[in-house]
Amino acid sequence: MRIDPEKCTACAQCPDYCPVTCIHEGDGVYFMDEDECVECGVCLRDAGCPTEAIYMPEESNRYPRSIRAAFSDPAVQYPEELFPDLKQGGRGTEEMKTNDVTGNFPRGEFGMTLEFGRPGTGTRLREVEKVTTLLTSLGIRFEGSNALFFLLEEPERGVLKRELRDEKVLSIIVEFTLAEAQLETIVAALFEVLQTVDTVVSWGLVTRFEEDGSLPVTDRLEKLGLTVRPNAKVNMGMGRPIIED
């Protein structure tokens, strides 16, 4: 996004709408820190600029900067030329939230999500690469239906396309599957690497209840120093459950 200094009247209406605080005042007008802007479009759509000084310049739609809007603005579709085999929208896959119906994560496995960035901070993609390269060194392979997978130049090493590393997005999700026996190893490694990541990371774990209604993984997580919040999200599918053999 950009603010036309010839049209800006410094009414101060737009800064509060920016989820990454990249609109600033200077020389009697407001301006956009374009390096920090994630192209979410909130200021353009919702700030109600009285002189229509806010606009999207042509270069915002050019690759690699176009990645910003794709991962920050829900109104923007993933470009087909960059995501040719992506079958769904959104930053994550629906299987993560409908496992009781799809059975995508069977007993003996966990699904894990790591969401980098949120409104108020965002994330550079280089911060994500710190974690993806670590995970692949531990034998993890990423969910191929997740949009992140298409940004990897070397999926087997977790390496992002070089031209994308400095791009900033509002949020992006890493999804993968791990064997139950790997939990302690993966969590310990993530504890260490996440200390070096310059953004907020939200951690999610997909598991299944036992037949008696217990959830043994909570004890394992607490022994690792993780607090399982009582208000954790529990998703119940509306379809017919998978019948296991």
Chain centroid to CA 143:
13
For residue 112, report the phi and psi dihedrals to the nearest 5 degrees. Answer: -135, 140
Q: Which CATH number fits domain 94-223: 3.30.70.240, 3.40.50.300, 3.30.200.20, 3.30.950.10?
A: 3.30.70.240
- The number of residues making up the chain comes to 245
Q: What DSSP assignment string belongs to 138-158?
A: TT--B-TTSGGGGGEEETTTT
Q: How far apart are CA 233 and CA 235, in angstroms?
A: 6
Distances (CA, A) of 160 to 64, 125, 132, 150, 174: 12, 8, 9, 9, 12
Could you say which residues of the chain have pLDDT below 70? 87-103, 230-245
Distances (CA, A) of 9 to 1, 55, 57: 17, 15, 20
* Strand partners for 116: 172, 201
Q: What architecture does CATH give domain 8-56?
A: 2-Layer Sandwich (3.30)
Q: What is the pLDDT of residue 234?
A: 54
Q: Do domains 8-56 and 94-223 have the same CATH topology?
A: yes
Per-domain residue ranges for the chain?
8-56, 94-223
Q: How far apart are CA 197 and CA 37, in angstroms?
A: 19
Q: How far apart are CA 14 and CA 10, in angstroms?
A: 9
Buried b (16+ CB within 10 A) or exposed e, 121-137: bbbbbebbbebbebbbe
Q: What is the pLDDT of residue 96?
A: 57
For residue 204, report the phi and psi dihedrals to the nearest 5 degrees. Answer: -130, 145
Q: What is the pLDDT of residue 119?
A: 80
